[in-house]
Chains A and B, each alone.
Chain A
Amino acid sequence: MTPLARPWMRGAGAVAALGALAWLLDRHLNAYYYQVLVLIGINVILAVSLNLINGFTGLFSIGHAGFMAIGAYAAAAVSVYGGAALHGTLDPILGAAVGDAVLLLAALAAGAVLAAGAGLVVGIPALRLKSDYLAIATLGFGEIIRVIILNLDVVGGARGFGDIPALAGFFWVYLFVGITLVTVHRMVRSARGLAFLAVREDDLAAEVMGIDATRYKVTAFLVGSFFAGIAGGLFAHFLTYLHTNSFTFLRSIEIIVMVVLGGMGSLTGSVASAALLTVLPELLRPLKDYRMVIYSALLIVLMLTRPQGVLGDRELEVRSWLARRRRREEAA
């Protein structure tokens, strides 16, 4: 057995490699590309977590931005209001870098737990509703969250929430990209996790086959909103300024488009389309005013020509692709 075969060692190796890469990028990548790269990561977390709800479990949620907002504001509040106290106690013992990391993790945890709690509060009653009604209820929920935050003076209200410490960069964002992907992948690709897909395919048949459909729906909401909260917290600590305008209904739509484009039920599809849809508007920037018009036209054309999304619910797998190619070559 090679040393890297042990799972925890593989994990540690991946984190070390990520750390090294982050160290390089922090120093040598130009600020604009760096920002795009980090935003891709945040969007990947959002798309993958929404895919668990929409793609794998088949619940039409259009309120993902609401969960993200809760995570962002809660995490920001923790680091803005608790940062000084935490740094004061930790820094003399462990140093400022560790203090930063602990503060960020505490902030993200608070945001994620609060978002997951909201997911539970929304999920349990809303799951009695069927497809379209659930969609509308989640939309309404997202809007209510936004209006409430807009009226919360303690997080800046309509002025926006500034002076959030810049704690999250490439390393943290991609660390959580990894954690999100591994978690969701392991959940839905296990034998037990196939129950999510069964609920999507036919929740009544699943129920009759002994699967507690409601439990799986609530779990999907819980885990999905947890990671949306993480994404929000990272977003807050990367941009250092929050405004409710970042969390409108349109933001939820953007995330849904990523999921649908990549394929409902395809994790690699979500990753690819989150990257594409973050980069695309940037590439279209030279077109100025035409940019968003082209973006929306592309969306319509794509739906008309490839309604299952690019990947459907298949995964892009290098290994199986290589195997297929080898088989073809052997056959020839």
Chain B
Amino acid sequence: MIAPPLLEARDCTVAFAGLRAVSGLNLRIAPGEVVGLIGPNGAGKTTVFNMLTGIYPPQSGEVVFAGRSLRGRRPAQVNRAGIARTFQNIRLFANLTAYENVLLCCHSALRAGLAAATLRTAAHARCEAQARDEARALLAELGLERVHEVRANHLSYGDQRRLEIARALATRPRLLLLDEPTAGMNPSEKTALADTVDELRERHDLTMLLIEHDMRVVMGVSQRIVVMDHGEVIAEGTPQQVRGDPRVIEAYLGEDGETA
């Protein structure tokens, strides 16, 4: 028996002013799977992320997560349902510290609301303490313990990318979407991050979808690769299968010559 997919996109289309950024997309991700999403620039990869997270809901088709349709859900609700993401063009809370960035996203710990915080109830104190522990643990996991009190915009590029991951994990997702997690990193940082991604997946029982331009990283980390071009899926399969697919090679060579 095949396990039901954790995420399924059924024939989804997102268009801007009539221009189709994503067209008739079908995507199934099984629990525990790591899927790489690749394709030339402008292929619609980030739009897929925006669609899955509820920023641009699909105009037609449907996204189903853990058996429930995400239709009509706003981004915050999608996140609470269990999907978190990072941003390609880093969108941390720039003037907050690394620690605060993570802390404020520890939703499951922070059940007591603002009223409890204002009244300083005992429940609030417990929640706060638990959230603080969680945030510290996550920062340590991503090797950010040295920079707790540093403002996000003062962090190095690599640390910002790692903080994006820590922040996403704080929301306790089941599915984590990583948008070019190694962009701007040097080769040794990239290797380290690929290892971290593996570890995180196991420790947090994650399913992952990642957009990545570095073929070494994406082929190494992913069990399955989905290739997009012009808003459509043009190939799908194991890293080996995709590597040899003539359509994939053509899509890359035909666009900007970025090779696998």
Q: Chain A residues in contact with chain B, CB under 8 A? A: 7, 183, 186-187, 190-195, 197-198, 201-202, 204-213, 219, 313
* A190-B128 Cα distance, complex, nearest whole Å: 8
B107: chain A residues at CB < 8 Å are 210
Check A212–B110 contact: CB distance below 8 A: no
* A212-B105 Cα distance, complex, nearest whole Å: 12
Check A209–B105 contact: CB distance below 8 A: yes
Check A193–B96 contact: CB distance below 8 A: no
A7: chain B residues at CB < 8 Å are 120
B132 adjacent to chain A (CB < 8 Å): yes
Check A207–B112 contact: CB distance below 8 A: no
Chain A binder among B36-44, B59-67, B78-86: B78-86
B94: chain A residues at CB < 8 Å are 201-202
Q: A201-B92, A211-B105 are in contact. List 9 more A-B contacts (CB 8 A).
A: A191-B103, A191-B128, A191-B132, A192-B104, A198-B93, A201-B95, A208-B55, A209-B84, A209-B167
B117: chain A residues at CB < 8 Å are 186-187, 190-193
Q: List B81-130 residues whose CB lies under 8 Å from chain A.
A: 84-85, 87, 91-96, 100, 103-107, 110, 112-114, 117-118, 120, 124, 127-128
Task: Return 8 A-B CB contacts under 8 Å, by A number.
Answer: A192-B114, A194-B100, A194-B104, A205-B93, A208-B79, A209-B171, A211-B76, A219-B114
The count of residues in chain B whose C-beta lies closer than 8 Å to any C-beta of chain A is 38
B74 adjacent to chain A (CB < 8 Å): yes
Check A213–B104 contact: CB distance below 8 A: no
A192: chain B residues at CB < 8 Å are 104, 110, 112-114, 117, 127
* A187-B170 Cα distance, complex, nearest whole Å: 21
Q: A202 contacts which of B85, B93, B112, B127 (Cβ < 8 Å)?
A: B93
B79: chain A residues at CB < 8 Å are 207-210
B118: chain A residues at CB < 8 Å are 183, 186-187
Distance in angstroms from A158 CB to nearest chain B CB is 40
Check B92–A205 contact: CB distance below 8 A: yes
Check B93–A197 contact: CB distance below 8 A: yes
B51 adjacent to chain A (CB < 8 Å): no
What number of residue pairs across chains A and B have CB atoms under 8 A from each other?
Answer: 93
Distance in angstroms from A57 CB to nearest chain B CB is 12
Map CB proximity to A onto B149-176 as digits: 1 under 8 Å, 0 otherwise: 0000000000000000001101100000
Distance in angstroms from A8 CB to nearest chain B CB is 11
Q: B80 contacts which of A186, A194, A202, A210 (Cβ < 8 Å)?
A: A210
Distance in angstroms from B109 CB to nearest chain A CB is 8
Distance in angstroms from B30 CB to nearest chain A CB is 24
Check B76–A193 contact: CB distance below 8 A: no
Q: A205 contacts which of B91, B114, B131, B170 (Cβ < 8 Å)?
A: B91
Given the interface pairs A186-B117, A201-B95, A206-B93, the reply to whether A194 lies near B103 with Cβ below 8 Å is yes
Of A186, A191, A195, A212, most B-chain CB atoms within 10 Å? A191
A187: chain B residues at CB < 8 Å are 114, 117-118
B231: chain A residues at CB < 8 Å are none
A191: chain B residues at CB < 8 Å are 103-104, 106, 110, 117, 127-128, 131-132
